[in-house]
Amino acid sequence: MSVAYTFGFRKGELLCEMKVDQLDCETRTIRLDPGTTKNNQGRVVVMTGEVYDLLRACVEGKGPDDFVFTRKDGNVVRNFRGAWYALCVKAGLGRFVKREGKRPKWEGLIFHDLRRSAVRNMVRRGVSETVAMRISGHKTRDVFARYNITSVADLADAARLIERGKNAKILRFPETNGSELATGSE
């Protein structure tokens, strides 16, 4: 989950495709090969410390052709839906809602939400959009923008920036016909 939350990788890129030889612990990189991603384009990312520690533990004792994510018995993790739901319920991030005459419906965090969070977090932390798009594997700016969701916290941050701007020292230049130039807070 940490890899998805950090880099916005898709579930299939992690579970169905990622093998040990795609991790380079020396350079701390993850290589997604062309043809193994949704858009068929390869990409390389540099691991954060947390991701490096987690993935290194996942691949310990495995060969280069082994899958990164396996269960204790060695079988490849292809589906973790039950574990996901249980974890989210325990963390208060979702629940099943009973519906008359139908199966209960999941309301809460889905794995794909981690992709949205990764995009949003990268942008809010100052990663340029082009770099964030390359990391997450988004091909178009339009689709990327749908993942970069504006929140109430973003609006509050904007209000603080606007307020800070109101308190800026304003210089007027007569030679520019009264134009203003903000020079910073007093």
Question: What is residue 186's predicted lDDT score, i.e. its pLDDT?
Answer: 46
Q: Are 2 and 45 in contact (CB under 8 A)?
A: no
Mean pLDDT by 10 residues, the chain (186 residues): 92 87 95 88 94 95 94 90 94 95 95 92 91 91 83 83 73 56 52
CATH number of the domain where residue 44 is located: 1.10.443.10
pTM to 2 decimal places: 0.75
Q: Is residue 90 part of a domain?
A: no
For every residue of 124-185, DSSP letters joined together read HTT--HHHHHHHHT---HHHHHHHS---HHHHHHHHHHHHHHHTEEEEEEGGGTTEEEEEEE
Give how many domains the chain has, as a whole number: 2
Q: Are 88 and 114 in contact (CB under 8 A)?
A: no
Residues 125 and 68 in one domain: yes
Residues 63 and 122 in one domain: yes
Please state, in angstroms and rounded to a whole number, the distance separating the CA atoms of residues 91 and 85.
Answer: 10
Strands 29-32 and 23-24: antiparallel
Question: What is residue 164's predicted lDDT score, i.e. its pLDDT?
Answer: 80
In terms of Cβ atoms closer than 10 Å to its own Cβ (0-12, 13-18, 19+), residue 173 is exposed
Residues 72 and 9 in one domain: yes
Please state, in angstroms and rounded to a whole number, the distance separating the CA atoms of residues 58 and 15.
Answer: 12
Residues 174 and 142 in one domain: no
Residues 117 and 26 in one domain: yes
